[in-house]
Copies of this chain bind each other. A is one copy, B any other.
């Protein structure tokens, strides 16, 4: 799955790629494939697309239906009836009917019951003439047999199906879903159900990604093949796939590295019209059309984010086109980017970001941009497109963004930027049931406070020790937080300590032991509260940072630190007890610290913040957090206010 770029790859602009592919599809008459038809019952027809117009088999109503409760009459017999000169009808000329009843043969109108005067012998008197078909829903009033009731190429909704039913059409001809053959390649690929993949094995999550995309876009995965990196096997698979499917999708090998022969293989079957598009992520994309089979061949890059972006840009419109579907409407919103975005000239770049409404406007925090960072795909709720001719945007700039989730979900997002703590995940789980989506970005305590200052977050998880005063958070909030009263809400008091290799082979029992044993330490990023705590502990112990092996090797979360130790690539780190517990590692306690949520005091009354604080007081929440180990929630939810520093 190498993504090494070589001179064989000639990137072209997105639009050019689309035009070339479109021209190739037309040249090979690929659209005709969309005319394949299948006949389905109404029960199975929801959200399918009609292949041809639906013609009414029956009229609606299909009989003359009485439109009122009353008596059926012959209109001619009522002629001349007046208030002063009623017409009296014999029983046989005045039949009692209900709404919906068929009009009796020979009768042609209905007199509403309230306008009928009963007389003896079942006879009735009426005092107003009626016209033929008065108070009658005549045959075909709504639908006439042989009428077109639903046009061709209509995405069938509930009303369309009901109309077909009313017109006596119980089965409809719909456009067959485009059949996609999905071929994933790579020696290292194993099925995602593999329990314990060995080192070097890669879970084939792209197969999951792409088959879900195919379904989303209205297609169906007719054939799924996983292959090792053997060119001849790919040739055979593409031959088989293009014989039976409407679209062939090959994942990975689309670049130009040693194992990247997708383009070469496609060339054996037809014209490769695109190899390399100037989009990021996504560069190495191959588009071709198999000449004989008239089947589009798509080579999608292996990095997950690249694969998703390419699927959205090229597979979606192709399947919509073959499936005769209108593209669903996209919601575009203006967002304020929280930090400067660099983007290379000449490339359309797609940046995943988390958007939330803070202080009235919607801010978007860009997520990690690596094409391999699959988490960014799932966490993002908006996608920023930075056009080819732009070099990016400054912090605070407003950009149009495509919403990846309903706007209501974005509106109820509560954004926590700052230090990482496992208890935040517990809190998020609890708030979800209150329709509040708590999203946290792990950037460290101080970066979180700066985000708060920029009004780029609702709250910031903070635990910063101030060496001179030996107190937590107040000083940092004054120094880095917003210039206004800040509320500090206690999430929990938590236990920090040394996380050590399983069995603690180096017998480390205190900070000093790390330097003494030359243990491979893994540190946190410079502005993390845990990093500051470590520096304070080193100073107290009179140890120089240089004496710590790996002092400069950093990770961004407690769990990441524990993970590296659990897997033997480090011997020690400083983290919360819960992280040690998660990997069942030895833990030497060194400090209890308050972990507080900083937020502008003026927002304390906001419903979502109020709900958050209420949750902190909830016993169930407290029990769940304390069960993680190393947490004391006795005072969770306590609020204190830090006033801004008075300028001297």
Q: Chain A: residues with CB nearer than 8 A to chain B?
A: 1-4, 42-43, 46, 52-53, 58-60, 62-64, 69, 98-102, 108, 131-133, 137-140, 142-153, 155, 157-166, 168, 170, 188, 192-193, 197, 199-200, 202-206, 208-213, 215-216, 257-258, 304, 308, 311, 326-329, 331, 372-375, 377-378, 403-409, 425, 428-429, 432-433, 437, 439, 520, 550, 552-553, 557, 559-560, 563-564, 567, 569, 582-583
- List 19 additional contacts besides A59-B563, A149-B378; criterion CB under 8 Å: A1-B99, A42-B208, A53-B425, A58-B197, A69-B258, A137-B372, A144-B560, A144-B563, A145-B563, A151-B428, A151-B429, A153-B437, A158-B212, A158-B308, A161-B208, A162-B378, A163-B205, A165-B192, A165-B203
- A162 near B564 with CB under 8 A, answer no
Contact across chains for A132 and B567 when beta carbons are under 8 A apart: no
Contact B69 A159 (CB under 8 A): no
Chain B residue nearest to A57 (CB atoms) is: B195
Given contacts A59-B563, A100-B1, A197-B58, contact A378 B425 (CB under 8 A): no
Contacts of A144 in B (CB 8 A): 557, 559-560, 563
Complex contact A158–B216 (CB within 8 A): yes
Q: If the complex has contacts A59-B563, A374-B162, are A403 and B329 also in contact, measured as CB distance less than 8 A?
A: yes
Contact B583 A327 (CB under 8 A): no
Chain B residues in 8 Å Cβ range of A378:
149-150, 157, 159-160, 162-163
- 4 closest A-B pairs by CB: A159-B377, A63-B199, A158-B212, A102-B199
Which of B158, B213, B437 touches A151 (beta carbons < 8 Å)?
B437
Least Cβ–Cβ distance between A370 and chain B, in angstroms? 8
Instruction: Flag if B158 contacts A406 (CB, 8 Å).
Output: no
Main secondary structure of the interface of A (DSSP, over half): loop
Q: Are A166 and B304 in contact (CB under 8 A)?
A: yes
| Nearest-Cβ distance from residue A369 to partner chain B, whole angstroms | 13
B216 touching A193, Cβ below 8 Å: no
- Give 7 CB contacts A-B under 8 Å: A2-B69, A46-B215, A132-B553, A148-B425, A151-B439, A168-B197, A170-B193
